[in-house]
Amino acid sequence: MNLSDRQKHILQFIKHFLDDKNFPPSIREIGQAVGITSTSVVKYNLNKLERDELIVREKEVSRGLSLNWEKIYQSGLGTLFNGGSGHESNVTALNGSYNPVGIPILGPIVAGYPIEVVPADRETAEEWIELNSSLFRQTEELYALRVQGDSMIDASVLDGDIVILRHQEEAKNGEMVAAWIDGDNETTLKYFHLKGNMVELTPANPAFEVITRPAAQVRVVGKVVSVIRTLE
């Protein structure tokens, strides 16, 4: 595929930003990373990547940008991401193959307000989603939840999307997690921030309030490693 070095750099930066932040970069952040001062020039290059189907853009959504991994693999551009940070979306071992794996969808999770998520295991899950196993490590630890609500919309997590989570009980500040709130007996999807003996569960939508609870009352039940856009 005929891409300039700058466009390849943009793809690499988007991937690394997603790995680090769990949400896409803005146009200004892309420009700063690749040495472009004009937002119109950034948009020109994004338009080229979109025409080549290497990225997907949701123009009505803030930071509505994602990588089209299937097209990237088909185009042989996976080598751009060799030697990455070791996160789940690295494609160093992909070699253009598609190895399907089933991920159980365990139910809904409301991004706007906490609700209870009934635990289920791989044997009892009634709904599954098929993904490429080469995208992830240790797929037996993955599960999925359907998003309801729009409190994470500025992180490009929309109502109806499916979030893929890795089951774990610890998180770093700034990571997007599903967190169980004792006392409320509810699970919510938010950014995790530990501040002393308190935990802040922060939405990505200024219309919603931060949930603050004692750390002893909050239990991480999974870290978001991918978001699947569902198209009606």
Question: Domains of the chain (ranges plus CATH)?
Answer: 5-81 (1.10.10.10), 100-228 (2.10.109.10)
pLDDT, tens digit, for every residue of 36-71? 989 899 999 999 999 998 998 876 666 778 888 777
Q: What pLDDT is recorded for position 85?
A: 34
Q: Among 66, 134, 156, 190, which one carries the catalytic annotation? A: 190
pTM score, whole prediction: 0.58
Q: What pLDDT is recorded for position 168?
A: 86
Q: What pLDDT is recorded for position 88?
A: 36
Q: Is 58 exposed, middle or buried (0-12, 13-18, 19+ CB in 10 A)?
A: middle
Q: What pLDDT is recorded for position 15?
A: 87
Residues in the chain with pLDDT values less than 50 = 83-97
Those residues whose C-beta lies under 8 Å from the C-beta of residue 152, and which sit 6 or more positions away, are 111, 176, 189, 190, 203, 204, 205
Is residue 151 flagged as an active site residue? yes
Q: Among 151, 156, 223, 226, which one carries the catalytic annotation? A: 151
Is residue 223 flagged as an active site residue? no
Q: What pLDDT is recorded for position 124?
A: 67
Q: What pLDDT is recorded for position 19?
A: 78
Question: Cα 203 to chain center, whole Å?
Answer: 14
C-alpha span between 195 and 33 (Å, rounded) = 30
**Residue 137 contacts residue 91 (beta carbons within 8 Å):** no
